[in-house]
Chain A
């Protein structure tokens, strides 16, 4: 994941990582690109792990809103595979675009062929390495396909300036590039407001 996004991020950027997890991404970016990062997370454990990496992190529930962050106040807002776990991904997306001059959002692709096959053949909700939870305990409230996400961006006046399609392992293959909605497991988008 880091290897994909680092090419899209200029050195010394001021970055907000929403749902920063254990802080690995910010830690790598800080080390390699000397970015000035701020993480946001709700998990006690993740906050502690981020602090122990020498990162700044704020305890905040993204679902409660992001109005405390000013318009275009960060060079970049990152959201790695968290948007599908929020109550209102559409509202979060417009907030991210408001706060960041640029944004990088990654999502798991629910229309990946493995998911389709599992649902078709077994009649059960898909479980995979990109989507490892059972239906009853998954934090992923709003799973979508790449097509779904892209049409949300289109309708929200958001421009997709970069896109990278990968497998859960992080590698990119011929099939995932040519038939993304079918073969990609995770999609990484670089977004900005349409001018």
Chain B
């Protein structure tokens, strides 16, 4: 069910050369996006939603009549919700390099008439912000009322405030970090190794389903807290008793295998590799001698930073690094740590305090 009903995605086509942070270039690209709500006459109510690692443009509403699962942030986007579509014009896109309709590794390379695959250049968070800025201009939006996102989406919200300070009024950075830790990169590397070591990946012609599935399993564990796994599965058995074998025995095994199967059927392996690399490379302080405070000095938006108590992938401590740097840079910032047992995935659920905090922050004159 979704109050927004069926949402038709649209395509933004950019035909010029697009320069990437790596120095490589793309000869144009397409971005698929959806919008919810109406752009006001003054064009001052647009909110950009940035997606996380495996997300896409379909953030809310239904894709078609038979769609049973609404978009990934449907609990937060809609009439009366955190991102109230009665008030705001919400824009959500699939990032460059994605596999849900925007130009990426699974698109056809016009030069070879084959899929780009691993020939598709690596793109970074900065590249995403630049491409999103072209979409902004195409949509006739002068300035975002807010840019918001969770996890890798939160990092994009942060990068927006730094790269285009005049174009963002409010920045909502949720369950994010100012850059990845060695442990974060290590998890991403194991995921990538799982994909590239799948024999089907080597052939290049097949979809490395097993490797991608493994990558998803690993990722999924880091999105959940120990507590929520205990509550969902504990040590429950799939069958009546232990059989001393290697088939699925525990509920949690069955769940992970289901997640792996489901995900690897729908997602592109090269996009997964690219997205994890974009995460690893993210470091807005890089251009400021590694000083996060200096990187934030040029921002002009009012920040809301949100973390979740049981998140260990990007823990509250990581969010506080952003908060403290903003305070040191004398920038307006609010911070809340939401009590939650959901782990990193907490940002997807409509916890009351979480929803009210976003709603109040968006609504207030700051």
A-B complex is real = yes
Chain A interfacial positions (CB closer than 8 Å to B)? 14, 36, 38, 44, 47-48, 51-60, 68-70, 73
Give the distance to chain A from B69, nearest Cβ to Cβ, in Å.
Answer: 31
CB-nearest residue of chain A to B333: A56
| Segment at the A interface, from B136-144, B182-190, B356-364 | B356-364
Give the distance to chain B from A24, nearest Cβ to Cβ, in Å.
Answer: 15
Asked whether A68 lies within 8 Å of B327 as measured between CB atoms, the reply is yes
User: In the complex, A73 Cα to B360 Cα: how many Å?
Assistant: 28
Asked whether A47 lies within 8 Å of B336 as measured between CB atoms, the reply is yes
What chain A residues lie within 8 Å of B323 (beta carbons)? 58, 68
* Listed A/B pairs (26) with beta-carbon separation below 8 Å: A14-B330, A38-B332, A47-B336, A48-B353, A51-B357, A51-B360, A52-B360, A52-B364, A54-B364, A54-B366, A55-B334, A56-B332, A56-B333, A57-B335, A58-B327, A58-B333, A58-B334, A58-B335, A59-B335, A59-B336, A59-B337, A68-B323, A68-B327, A70-B328, A73-B327, A73-B330
Asked whether A51 lies within 8 Å of B328 as measured between CB atoms, the reply is no
Chain B interfacial positions (CB closer than 8 Å to A)? 302, 320, 323-324, 327-328, 330, 332-337, 353, 356-357, 360-361, 364-366
**Known contacts A54-B365, A58-B335, A59-B335, A68 near B357 by CB under 8 Å:** no
What chain B residues lie within 8 Å of A55 (beta carbons)? 334
Asked whether A44 lies within 8 Å of B335 as measured between CB atoms, the reply is no
Q: What are the 7 tightest A-B residue pairs by CB atom distance, in nearest-first order? A: A54-B364, A68-B324, A58-B335, A51-B360, A56-B332, A56-B334, A59-B336
Asked whether A44 lies within 8 Å of B353 as measured between CB atoms, the reply is yes
User: In the complex, A172 Cα to B343 Cα: how many Å?
Assistant: 52
Q: Which secondary structure dominates where chain A touches chain B?
A: mixed
CB-nearest residue of chain A to B332: A56
User: In the complex, A48 Cα to B361 Cα: how many Å?
Assistant: 9
Give the distance to chain A from B325, nearest Cβ to Cβ, in Å.
Answer: 10
User: In the complex, A48 Cα to B334 Cα: how many Å?
Assistant: 11
What chain A residues lie within 8 Å of B365 (beta carbons)? 54
What chain B residues lie within 8 Å of A52 (beta carbons)? 360, 364
Give the distance to chain B from A15, nearest Cβ to Cβ, in Å.
Answer: 12
